[in-house]
Amino acid sequence: MIRAGAVAAVGATLWASAGLADCRQALALGLDVSGSVDAREYHLQLDGVAGALDDPLVRAAILSAPEAPVSLLVYEWSGPADQRVIAPWRSITDGAALQEVIDRLRQVERAAASPGTALGVAMAAGAAYLAQQPDCSKHTLDISGDGISNLGLRPRDVKQQLAGKDVTVNALVIEPAGNDAPLTAYFAAEVVTGPAGFALPVAGFDAYQSAMTTKLLRELAVLSLAQLAE
């Protein structure tokens, strides 16, 4: 964990010193709030994202190069018509900006939504949100889910549409207790795309914050000196 945080900080600093784009990364977090997610799990997820963003290593990674900041957006998804932005795009230039996002997430109340799992629609929505940040050098969709798609666009079709575009889709997969990660394999095959895309399994919502912290550090640690020199 410490190594990941250090790599993220060094990568961000190198990015800024290389004189690259003013925004080094647009990061959209899509949270599954479908019918399979009960009230307790809903709050574990929201509190988990807030807690992960508040982690000292994640804070250091995000804030390490304020002159080339990360832009952050958080949205919820369930059925085909149920995508709700709960923290709109914010350029995280300092600790106060990051704290405002964290505080906002901790105050969100659950809205009524259909019980379906429209994963493909959620991916398309996330890609559309990322397109609102054209000046960012990297575009990452971080999507969480605890089930397969059963409504709307097929995830594999959206994945094909995103192939070759400037979008990386990563997945945080909430596996049911006792499973041998079949859901993670589904997300890896049907959802994940883009440079260094990955699916990270988590053993239930109680472990969500820890997994989200690991995932954010991995997503923020994207640069090497060789890549910056290209």
Tens-place pLDDT, residues 160-187: 999 888 999 999 999 886 666 689 999 9
Does the pLDDT at position 15 exceed 60? no
Q: What is the DSSP secondary-structure string of 135-147?
A: TBS-EEEEEEESS
Looking at 138-187, which runs of residues are DSSP E strands? Answer: 139-145, 168-174
> Strand locations in 33-147, DSSP E?
70-77, 83-92, 139-145
Name, in order, each residue with C-beta under 8 angstroms of 119's C-beta and a sequence gap of 6 or more.
77, 143, 145, 148, 149, 152, 155, 190, 191
Going by pLDDT thresholds of 50, 70 and 90, the confidence category of residue 65 is confident
- Residue 5 pLDDT grade (very low, low, confident, very high; cuts 50, 70, 90): very low
- Checking if the pLDDT of 66 tops 70, the result is yes
Mean pLDDT of 49-59: 97
Q: Where are the domains of the chain?
A: 2-229
Is the alpha carbon torsion for 33, 35, 39, 45 positive or negative?
negative
- Please write the tens of the pLDDT for every residue from 144-162: 999 999 999 999 999 999 9
Q: What is the model's pLDDT at position 178?
A: 60
Task: Give domain 2-229's CATH superfamily.
Answer: von Willebrand factor, type A domain (3.40.50.410)
Is 70 exceeded by the pLDDT of residue 111? yes
